[in-house]
Amino acid sequence: MVERNIICYSEKSQSETETGESKFISMNDILSNDVLLRILVRLPNDCCRFVIRCSTVCKLWFSLINSIDYCNLRLMHDQSQSQSLPYALIFRYEYCGFSQPLYEYSSSSSAPNGSSTCYLDFLPWPKVRIYSSFDDLLLLSHGHDNNFLICNPLKRQYLDLPKPPASMARVRTDCIQGGLVFKPDVRQQRRLNPKLDLSQFSFRVMLRRWTGLDKDWISSYYVVTFCSETGKWRESALKFCDHSELHDSTPLSCNGMLHWLANTTMEECTYHGIVAVNPFEDANNPKYCRFIDFPLGLVQGNGRSSNLRVRFGLVRGQLRLAQLLGNKRVGFVLKVWELNYDHNVDDDDKGGSPWTWTLMHEVEVSANNHTLFVIAFHPDNGNVVFFLRYPRLICKYDIGEEKMEQVGHLPNEHYPYEFAESLYSYSLVHPLWPTPIPRAIPFV
């Protein structure tokens, strides 16, 4: 199956820096390291590539930008300025042929920013498939044998994973769904030491494929899980006893678990909850796979909880769920919930559940166009969602200001009405310092 990667990311263009070596030597001679460090800390953080380019100016700048002092000062500066982290949104639609970058407009500029080069053009393969994202990392595959890799597009680095078992490697890529997940304390680790690379974290890569229905219409899945500590894949099976079925939507990684929207085997396109899988647990552990009911205020059935009307995403690492329903009087009603997870509450506790929902927004959205769909969340701003507006416009909607802004459009082709059903989104949030990926991790 051929795919299209359509890229939307926010990145401010920067004026070209002077490249005369003598000018930099002169500046370094005049300024002390402390003063120069404080100047470098104030470089615009919304373009990580610019900071990386600055580190290549000379050895002194490289050592300063890669120092722990820079990280600490940068963190304090950004917190004092209340700066949000730069982010990227990648949209993928299947059955298409090429990539078109789509840039968001900066709040301080009226012009689109960034270059028009393909986001993944540094990879040696002409076509790759995107499976999931975590912070600034992507899980990808390439080739007919399903070679999987973890990639940091900003650092232009990637790591090939060992080949999965043959039962998964020989399956068509469009029949496999997968996710990348880290332990819950990974962000705390990064705050304490932003320069940690991928080899210093514990992570899992989980791949699954549907193996069929039994006579009672119960779905089963073949699952393989890669463990970063052992460097090996583990095979297991997954079966649901309540007619649930994992949808092919993009999995979300939070709280050390992978989350998939779930429909029933009786109603293929109607969601009825979320399945949370913890790849760090053994497949026989009751906490390995658990079901999360939708919030009570979410309207279900009759197409109102279909994949056109219900989407989930991450905002500051927390799972959010949106439902957008048509309303004859105002146009649409948008509801957004946030999922709260309490590690101290166990499913076995009397009447207890580790998950609770909080309604974050319930607003009316005025729109003359009757084909409006939620396609993504702003990963660092809980008041912003992204809409797909017929036929191919991508709009950013600020809930508090009730402001709809067109930020891009998909290629001008004849898409079917159900285009939004096959549009997958992946969010990338670039931390203070991009996650380095060693060329080879010494798996034990």
Pick the more confident residue, 305 or 283. Answer: 283
Of 8-12, 140-144, 193-197, 264-268, which one has max mean pLDDT? 140-144
Report pLDDT for 307: 76
Of 5-9, 92-96, 397-401, which one has max mean pLDDT? 397-401
Listed as own residue / partner, the contacts of 349-357 with beta carbons closer than 8 Å and 24 or more positions apart are 355/292, 357/295, 357/296, 357/321
Of 101-110, 194-203, 343-352, which one has max mean pLDDT? 194-203
Task: Report pLDDT digits (tens) over 341-382.
Answer: 887 676 655 456 789 999 999 999 987 766 889 999 999 899
Reply yes or no on whether the pLDDT at 320 is more than 60: yes
What pLDDT band is residue 160 in, cutting at 50, 70 and 90?
A: very high
Report pLDDT for 297: 92
pTM score, two decimals?
A: 0.79
Say if CB 62 and CB 55 are below 8 A apart. yes
Count other C-beta atoms under 10 Å from residue 185's C-beta.
12
Segment 227-236 mean pLDDT: 93
Reply yes or no on whether the pLDDT at 266 is more than 70: no
Q: What is the mean pLDDT of the chain?
A: 77
Report pLDDT for 357: 95
Beta carbons within 8 Å of 402's beta carbon, 6+ residues apart: 363, 366
Buried b (16+ CB within 10 A) or exposed e, 191-210: eeebeeebeebebbbbbbbb
Of 219-223, 236-240, 384-388, which one has max mean pLDDT? 384-388
Using DSSP's 3-state secondary structure scheme, residue 199 falls into helix
Burial of 85 (0-12, 13-18, 19+ CB in 10 A): middle
Task: Report pLDDT digits (tens) over 46-88.
Answer: 555 666 666 666 777 677 766 666 666 666 655 555 556 778 8
Task: Report pLDDT digits (tens) over 375-424.
Answer: 999 998 999 999 988 777 888 999 999 999 888 777 665 555 566 777 88
H helix or E strand, kind and range, residue 389: strand 384-389
CATH 1.20.950 fits 87-108+120-429, yes or no: no
Q: Where are the beta strands (DSSP E) in 127-202?
A: 129-134, 137-142, 147-152, 157-160, 177-182
Task: Report pLDDT digits (tens) over 119-158.
Answer: 777 888 877 888 999 999 999 988 766 889 999 988 889 9
- Rounded distance between C-alpha atoms, residue 334 and residue 323, angstroms: 6
Domain spans in the chain, listed from the N-terminal domain onward: 33-80, 87-108+120-429
What pLDDT band is residue 113 in, cutting at 50, 70 and 90?
A: very low
